[in-house]
Amino acid sequence: MIIDEILRPTNHSTVPETINKFIKISFKIHNGFKLLKVYGKVEDGAKAEIMGWVLSIREQKTVSFVIIVDNRKQVQLVINNTKLLKHIRQNSVIGASGTLKKTSKAPGGFEIHVNEVRVISKVKKDPPFNIMTKDLPSIDLRLDNRALDLRRPYNLDLFTIRAALIRSIREYLYSKGFLEVNTPKIIASASEGGAALFPLMYYDKQAFLAQSPQLYKEELTMPFERVFEIGPIFRAEPSRTLKHLSESVSLDVEAAFFTNDDLMNLIDGLVRNSLSDIWKSSSDLLVRIKAPKLGLPERLSRFTYGQIIDWLGKNDRKINFGDDLGQKDLELFGSHVNDFYFITEWPIKLKPFYIQPKDNEVTFSFDLMYRELELSSGGERVHDPSILRKNLKAAGLPVKSFRHHLIPYYYGMPPHGGFGMGVERLLMTITGADNIREVSLYPRDVRRLSP
């Protein structure tokens, strides 16, 4: 009998009767919900049942191998009955039962020799590409069919690593006494200057999507001292590059009484800890997706902006003090360093109004780089309201729109500092992905708004 329906049990009792009979108690094991059930020890001859998506079918003369994916893990089924095989198509959801056999040749170290198969959700039509193909279809075709594309083994691994990374960052910051917060994503005015914002209608008023939690996280250092947020930022990036999204996820950190040095030390520890955590928890996945092994020096190098333009000048790229470093400059210097590093002491004119000057030329600021890719920007902030007002005016920003933001600065704003780090940029570095769209589930860019 073929059961043609999608199975979404929320608890044991809601499992349809027919399937319940077949799968028996598969839905409850001590580790929570899991579709693989082995009766007794994982040893040859044990009875096993599984449900999952058919990833691939490899037919041979007398025996066929079917790989199914269960809870992001691959399990190999061995089928030597052609009648059973007849019902199995790639991408269908099936249930199978049989006996377990240990083998180093199968993923996970065992396979199931099948004697019963159920088709639970049958594929209705052939997908536009084979998820097991070695010749990757264009990124646009894949993104148009993203849920299917995400079933490719590479993506199952990649987004599992992404989750492990975010979890590790979160735990690290908790361990350092930071409070996780959420700040508004609908804001009243084009607050920071710099990046272009997405306007929207908020009832009868004009509003915008937040380009960063900057001003809120700074204010929050007054009540909470140390805060962080992992959330979306929206930027109307005008061009389509390999490292910009219109909606990306940012790790934003802000801390009272942190100096520039404290912040860079925190990032140094955070990057080190994240890399070590994910290589501990997900090394098999990282190896499978061929992630580069990023070695870290004792301490991440720090170069001032001044040192870098001097170096570039000696290497035939003249930069005037105060000019931004372009892609070509960063490629040249980045390949020279060939690692993570900080660029510190950026000129005042290249930094936003809230960055603390060091003297009348440069600021207490830094960017974390990996080769030519910027991963994070941060620094100490101005906490004196009169300087903040002066800077706003100098930047040509309407002081009136910052009325609410300035209030806490009159009531005991602590000296503070922080940074914003692009989660997708960090993930690109860790996985070796060359296009930021690969590491976002549903990327948004100047041309793409769906799915």
Q: Tell me which residues touch ligand ATP (CB under 6 A).
A: 195, 235, 237, 244-245, 248, 250, 374-377, 420-422, 424-425
User: Which of Mg ion, ligand ATP, none sits in contact with 231, Cβ below 5 to 8 A by type?
Assistant: none
In single-letter form, the type of residue at position 358 comes to: K
Residue 422 binding target from Mg ion, ligand ATP, none, CB below 5 to 8 Å by type:
ligand ATP
The residue (of 167 and 358) whose beta carbon lies closer to Mg ion is 358
Q: Which residue number is nearest to ligand ATP in terms of Cβ? A: 422
Minimum CB distance to Mg ion smaller for 212 or for 377: 377
Q: Which is nearer to ligand ATP, 23 or 368 (CB)?
A: 368
- Cis ω for the linkage preceding 408 (within 30 of 0): no
Of 11 and 239, CB closest to ligand ATP: 239
Comparison of 260 and 377: residue with beta carbon closer to ligand ATP: 377
- 199: Cα within 13 Å, side-chain hemisphere: 6
Instruction: Considering the complex, state which of residue 95 and residue 422 has its C-beta at the smaller distance from ligand ATP.
Output: 422
Q: Are strands 47-59 and 64-70 parallel, antiparallel or unpaired?
A: antiparallel
Question: CA 246 to CA 239: how far, in whole Å?
Answer: 10
DSSP bridge pairs for 79:
64
The Cα 426–Cα 252 span in angstroms is 13
| Residue type, position 339, single letter | D
- The number of C-alpha atoms within 13 Å of 442 and in the hemisphere containing its C-beta is 6
Binding to Mg ion by residue 377, rule CB under 5 A?
yes
Smallest gap from residue 334 Cβ to Mg ion (A): 15
Which one, 227 or 375, has the nearer CB to ligand ATP? 375
Q: Closer to ligand ATP at the Cβ: 76 or 248?
A: 248
CA atoms within 13 A on the CB side of 446: 10
CB of 197 to ligand ATP, least distance (A): 12
Please state the closest distance from residue 245 (CB atom) to Mg ion, in A.
15
**Which CB atom, from 26 or from 377, has the smaller least distance to Mg ion?**
377
**DSSP secondary structure letter of residue 14:** G
Name the minimum Å distance from CB 438 to ligand ATP: 13
- Least distance (Å) between residue 327 CB and Mg ion: 14
Nearer to ligand ATP, 120 or 253 (CB): 253
In 194-299, which ranges are continuous DSSP H helix? 214-224, 260-281, 283-288
Bridge-partner residues for 226, per DSSP? 255
Count CB neighbours of 423 within 10 A: 22
The CA distances from residue 223 to 219, 226, 287, 298, in Å, are 8, 9, 44, 35
Per partner kind, with CB cut-offs from 5 to 8 A, the member of Mg ion, ligand ATP, none near residue 114 is none
351 contact, one of ligand ATP, Mg ion, none, CB 5-8 Å limit per kind: none
Smallest CA-to-CA distance from 168 within 289, 251, 52, 264 is with: 251
- Minimal distance, residue 163 CB to Mg ion, in Å: 25
CB of 200 to ligand ATP, least distance (A): 18
What 3-state class would DSSP assign to 419? strand
CB 75 within 8 A of CB 36: yes
Q: Are 54 and 90 in contact (CB under 8 A)?
A: yes
- 352 neighbors 194 (Cβ within 8 angstroms): yes
Q: Which of these ranges, 190-198, 342-350, 369-377, 424-432, lies near Mg ion under the rule CB under 5 A? A: 369-377
> Which DSSP string corresponds to 377-406?
EEEEB---HHHHHHHHHHTT--GGGGHHHH
Stretch that binds Mg ion, among 144-152, 228-236, 310-318, 377-385 (CB under 5 A): 377-385
Q: Which does 97 bind (CB under 5 to 8 A by kind): ligand ATP, Mg ion, none?
A: none
Cα end-to-end distance, the chain, whole Å? 36
Which partner, Mg ion, ligand ATP, none, binds residue 245 by CB below 5 to 8 Å per kind?
ligand ATP
Rounded least distance, CB 268 to ligand ATP, Å: 16
Q: Which does 405 bind (CB under 5 to 8 A by kind): ligand ATP, Mg ion, none?
A: none
Chosen from Mg ion, ligand ATP, none, partner binding at 76 (C-beta under 5 to 8 Å by type): none
Could you give the angle at the alpha carbon of 50 between the alpha carbons of 48 and 53, nearest 5°? 155
Residue 366: CB minimum distance to ligand ATP, A: 11
Residues that bind Mg ion (CB under 5 A): 377
